[in-house]
Structure 1
Amino acid sequence: MDVRIAACQIEISPGHPDVNTEKMLSLIKQAKADKQDIVIFPEMAVPGYLIGDEWENRAFVLDCYRYNEQIVASSDGITVVWGNVDIDKEAVGEDGRLRKFNTAFVARNGKIAGRFHKTLHPNYREFDDDRHFYSARKLSGEKDMDIEDFLQPLQIDINGRERRIGVSLCEDMWSDDYTIDPIETLLNNGAECIINISCSPWTWRKNDKRHRVVKDRLKDHPVPYIYVNNIGIQNNGKNLFLFEGNTTVYNPDGSVQNIAGDYEEEVLHVDLQNNGGKKQEKKTLSNHRDNEELLKGLTYGIRKFFDLIHASKAVIGMSGGVDSSLSAYLLCRALGPGQVYAVNMPSEFNSELTRGLARQLAETLQLNYGVVPIQEAFEFTLKQLGNTAFERLDGSGRRTELELSPVVRENIQARDRGSRVLAGIAAALNAVFVNNGNKSETATGYATLYGDINGALAPIADLYKTEVYELCRYINSLEDKNIFSDQLFEIPASAELSDEQNIEEGEGDPFVYPYHDRLLRAFIEFRRDPEDILQWYIDGSLEEMLEIEVGLVSRLFGGHRDFIKDLEHTWRLYKINFFKRIQAPPIIVVSKRAFGFDLRESQMGIHFTRKYREMKKELLKQDH
């Protein structure tokens, strides 16, 4: 094919069609100057994709649709492919509103040359396409057409020759779990190349899977394949999704010809006449690469989130522990150390060691640092609540005096730090304060509501504790000198809220993170039940299935009873603490399943399956 293509990886501003369209018009003008035949933009390039129920705002939808007029008018002498919402004013969608489509439009010489509705609608994780859009699959059924007849390549004259180009949208390439394969259908119907416009968030090792998927799609029909994705962040309210781009041009054999940079606006120029002559090696999978992508993504996500909410300064509590240390580093990397205000808030339970580590890191990062002791306020609150009694006003004279348990005392400190000190300092600085919680704490509720569950953003709440340590070690490996002190990795992880959490005596959090993180990961990312865990334990495959060190389980638990007690305790913590998670700040998503509206939870209490109870009964007999 003698066709020159400009694949435009652009940053999409969700909910701002004016900003996005202006950027597209500029790039169309440049593509004309460069004598390109086709210029391509991502899926939903005009409105953005993850905009929640703004899709139910008729005025907004019609406004987005009208921006097509400017794009079509700019297509004189060039073919433009872009994503936007399409509408059918004469039909009603399945939500009872104006029928809408997620559509790839094609314009040439001032006219619409084709419109291609998304065929496969993802309805998992953060995606909820069927809630708002009507699919090509449903439309073909409505027209009483086989989908194989409905999905046809675009036929268009380019440079005096009729071309047949398959145009598809995002999920249409991820068809393994569907009964329809849109890419194969387009190829069977004569497509000479495939264009896939996407709005596809970054997740762990997803791009490597995409390379394999594309290669598989082309194995029986070797044609050029152009994948165009956007950059930026988009959200569904509770989750912030990273879009790194990774726009890719594939050779007909599925090998990679060219890839755009991560989190960078870039135009890849493709000459399909010479498509088979160049190959680019794909990066190999490794823990180093995982941490490299993770660090880049978290930094980018924090920076873009602060841009989104029009904030420039961040306040953070810095205890000297690993979570706050990593959060402080990420904030400095994203915003600059001059924009970060770290607050150490010691009570009598905070050791000189962690106070020293906090100060040392602050000096290393060169951020703004302050110390606000909370002991006096803590003692005042204890005294005030200890002197409080409730009288039953029914004439009985009954009184209820408050008893401040150790847990209540711990929570008072956490709430004083978050709701009083950090919130107050953030307000005084016209800043926002940031949450330091990790995924292990979020999963088990090992955090205080309105204490350390607060703030505008939870940048590391999709990282388990073990992953926090691993990322810190990776960061140290990047620098000439360690950012994080060796002592940070040696002291026990601890909230330091009581004498029972004294790190100088080796006390800390009530978890063995190398085991419990993997157990929680099975619950969360893979939706495993205690029934599965107990079956693996009985089969002797638990360590293999959780991917943990051989022999760890036997070292942790003295017998079946101890194992079951811990399993049920962890499951209970996980299931009963949804009420805390739903009130937590937005989370930057970096895993296969993040808390928020990625993992959609329901408060249902605790349940153990019948089979679990039967296995437990038989197992405990062996302990007698």
Structure 2
Amino acid sequence: MLRITLAQLNMTVGDIAGNTAKMEAAARQAHEAQANLVVFSELSLCGYYPEDMLDEPAFLQRCERGLQELLATTRQWPSLYWVVGAPTAAQGPGKRLHNSLLVLQNGQVRLQYDKQLLPTYNIFDERRHFEPGRDVAKVLRIGDAQVGFLICEDGWNDSGTDYAVNPFERMADAAPDVVVSINASPSNIGRREQRHQVFSAAARRHGLPIVYVNQVGGQDQVVFDGASFAVEPMAGVVFEAERFSEQVVTLQLARGCFAQGDGSEPEPVAAQGLSTMAFYRAQIQLGLRDYARRCGFTRAVVGCSGGIDSALTLALAAEALGPDNVTAITMPSRISSSGSVDDSIALCQQLGVALIQHPIAAQVDAYVQQFQASFGQPLSGLALENLQARVRGTVLMEYSNSYGHLLLTTGNKSELSVGYCTLYGDTNGGLGLLGDLYKTEVFELCRHLNQANGRELIPQTIIDKPPSAELAPGQTDQDSLPPYPLLDAMLKLLIEGERLSDAEYQAAQETVNMLQLTPEGRAMVSKVRRLLHGSEYKRHQTPPVIRLRPRAFGSGRQMPIAASYAWD
């Protein structure tokens, strides 16, 4: 029998001392649970992903010191094996580093396995820093078992369609009793189920039990959901760790079957995880908490317009950070309706969030007067509309600088896609919570929050009102944009395409096919495509957004600014 402790921890990039302390605490728990080995996530020593920190000699020196500290600590429990992820030096031509899995025991490195498949797609760019490992399986006898080791992407190519090398084939040839995979697998909608499908198929094909240990926590725009699991060849996924939280748990493996540490059967694992809206809610909140904490913020500020986007941002921030740590600022101008202020007051009362009123009419008037005095013509049209947004953005940044709050932007994916936002105005801030939510999903998540809380957390008047930037009299979003259900269908195909789920892709394709039947519809599709491509310069200047979907703006979608999109 083999006892394995899965250490699903929230590592911080660059915090070598903090990460090693977490590992040492988890190893103590593993020792107390009489485990044979304790397994940590990919690059657990330095956190995933360090990016160009890996080019800094001082950073690599700190990693080496952290590794030596871990090796010294392993002597406290000499029979316990530690499976650790770390950057290591590579020999010969190519990149200077490997992305490695190290097995430590009693002050020694007993095994080193270097990741073979280095992803360079979507948000990943590992080939920038690492050299692929050799096409060889690494197996180590621990107790009565032969244990094989893989790192994340190495386990995703068992179909043989993405890379010429299939590490699972080589691992199966080595005939281990169990495979341990360490991972930093980012979370997006449907990713959990995809992991289960891929690794269950590999376990079944090769007749190998698998232990999959994943990182948890938010890192910049990426969130890792944990959800580590164990797979049996015939039964599939038989154990799953908590999602969106740290957990250290011990399993035992005997004759190819997993059991809890006390020998009891694990709880059944649901085929489907959270609902889409529950997933969005959990992912955004963990992403915000970790982003704020790691950047040194304890409080947040949001510009509250009385509209649905700022309402949802405030509600999510209040849940994540606590309502006492969130401030809302409403900034009415001469254009603002009385309902905007009233709805803001009602919302903040429901959330328990402090609301500050800061009228901007006087500032806008002063800017307009000075513009004409300096440049000899009145400020009007779009420039005047955007001025209001930029004054609001300035007020929010003044508050952030003065009181130390993290400013949260409120733009959604639909608006960011087509440039329906003002640079240096409503795009100001440090993080966007809704930037990977289409507008139709914003409405749906608001309704979900109300239902989950059993009350109108977000007043129905806000959900029902026609969306408006309120930068011109009587303005609504529909004056400039197609209806959001149509817009979002077009954007999903243009941005995500075949990365969508089958159902979402089919629904979006049917909508666009319908539009293509009329001249007006074809013109609408062409306009949206032009707006999307013409707004790259804006998106390159906006804050990071928390990634929720397979393709998010930021590192997950890299398009040029100064280019000819000839297919428009």
Q: 1:84 matched to which residue of 2?
A: 86
Residue ranges of structure 1 left out of the alignment (5+ in a row): 141-146, 390-400, 529-542, 613-624
**Gaps spanning 5+ residues in structure 2: where?**
260-264
How far did residue 478 of structure 1 move?
Answer: 0.8
Q: CA deviation at 1:502?
A: 5.9
The CA distance in 1 between the partners of 2:512 and 2:414, in whole Å, is 19
Deviation at 1:549, TM superposition (A): 9.7
Distance in structure 2 (CA, Å) of the matches to 1:553 and 1:33: 61
1:82-111 Cα distance to aligned partner (Å, 9 max, x none): 1111113x53534xxxx2100000122332
Residue among 269, 294, 317 paired with 1:282:
269
Match of 1:485 in 2: 459
1:548 & 1:48 partners in 2: Cα distance?
37
Equivalence for 1:436: 410
1:202-601 correspondence runs (5 A): 202-235=187-220, 240-273=221-254, 275=257, 278=265, 280-285=267-272, 289-389=275-375, 401-402=376-377, 404-419=379-394, 421-501=395-475, 510-526=481-497, 545=505, 547-548=507-508, 560-601=518-559
Q: CA deviation at 1:254?
A: 4.9
Separation (CA, whole Å) in 2 of partners of 1:516 and 1:320 = 23
After superposition, the CA RMSD in angstroms is: 2.3
Change (3 A) 1:11 1:607: closer
- Matched residues in 2 for 1:429 and 1:115: separation? 48
Q: In structure 1, the residue corresponding to 2:140 is in which secondary structure?
A: strand
Cα distance in structure 1, aligned partners of 2:41 and 2:542: 32
How many angstroms does 1:544 deviate by?
A: 8.7
Counterpart residue identity of residue 23, structure 1: K
Q: Residue 39 of structure 1 contacts residue 81 of structure 1 at CA under 8 Å; is this kept in 2? A: yes
Q: 2:184 aligns with which of 175, 199, 222?
A: 199
Q: CA deviation at 1:268?
A: 2.0
- Is residue 105 from structure 1 mapped to residue 105 from structure 2 by the alignment? no
Identity of aligned residues (%): 29
CA distance in 2, matches of 1:510, 1:546: 23
Q: In structure 2, how many angstroms separate the alpha carbons of the residues matched to 1:590 and 1:456?
A: 18
Q: How does 1:26-45 map to 2 (within 5 A)?
A: 26-45=25-44
Q: TM-score, normalised by structure 1?
A: 0.84
Aligned to 1:394: none
Distance change (3 Å), C-alpha of 1:590 and 1:470: same
Deviation at 1:308? Answer: 0.9
* C-alpha distance in 2 between matches for 1:332 and 1:172: 40
Indicate the residue corresponding to 1:116 in structure 2: 113
Structure 1 stretch displaced more, 172-181 or 543-552: 543-552
1:376 and 1:27 map into 2 onto residues whose CA distance is 58
The 5 A counterparts of 1:160-175 are 161=144, 163-175=145-157
Match of 2:17 in 1: 18
* Structure 1 residue 548, shift from structure 2 partner: 4.4
Residue of structure 2 in register with 1:143 after alignment = none
Letter in 2 for 1:171: E
In 2 relative to 1, CA 486–33 (structure 1 residues): closer, same or farther, beyond 3 Å?
Answer: closer
Q: Alpha carbons of 1:113 and 1:333: their partners in 2 closer, same or farther (altered >3 Å)?
A: same
Using a 3 Å threshold, how does the CA distance of structure 1 residues 132 and 3 change in structure 2: closer, same or farther?
same
Take 2:504 and 2:224, find their aligned partners in 1: how far apart are those partners?
33
CA pair 271-36 structure 1, distance change in 2 beyond 3 A: same
Write the deviation string for residues 460-497 of structure 1: whole angstroms up to 9, x where unpaired: 11111111111001111112211122222321111111
Deviates more, 1:29-38 or 1:430-439: 29-38
> 8 Å contact 1:575–1:605 — kept in the other structure?
no
In structure 2, what residue type is equivalent to 1:443? S
Separation in structure 1 between the aligned mates of residue 335 and residue 379 of structure 2, nearest angstrom: 17
> How far apart are the structure 1 equivalents of 2:411 and 2:402?
23
Alpha-carbon distance in structure 2 between the residues aligned to 1:603 and 1:195: 43
User: Do the aligned residues in 2 keep the contact of 1:341 with 1:368 (CA within 8 Å)?
Assistant: yes
Q: Using the TM superposition, give the Cα deviation of residue 575 of structure 1 relative to its aligned residue in structure 2, in angstroms.
A: 0.9
Q: Match of 1:424, as an amino acid?
A: E
In structure 1, the partner of 2:262 is: none
Aligned-residue offset at 1:186: 0.3
Q: What SS does structure 1 have at the residue aligned with 2:20? A: helix
What secondary structure is seen at the aligned counterpart in 2 of 1:387? Answer: helix
Give the superposition deviation at 1:360: 0.4
Which digits, 9 at most, give the CA deviation of each residue in 1:179-221, with x for residues without a partner? Answer: 2221232012212111000011111110101111111102232
Relative distance call for 1:402 and 1:567 in structure 2 (3 A) is: farther
Q: Which amino acid aligns with 2:18?
A: V
Return the offset for 1:284. Answer: 4.4
Secondary structure of the corresponding residue to residue 220 of structure 1: helix
Indicate if the aligned counterparts of 1:340 and 1:367 stay in contact, CA closer than 8 A. Answer: yes
Report the AA paired with residue 256 of structure 1. Answer: V
Indicate the structure (1 or 2) with the bigger Cα radius of gyration.
1
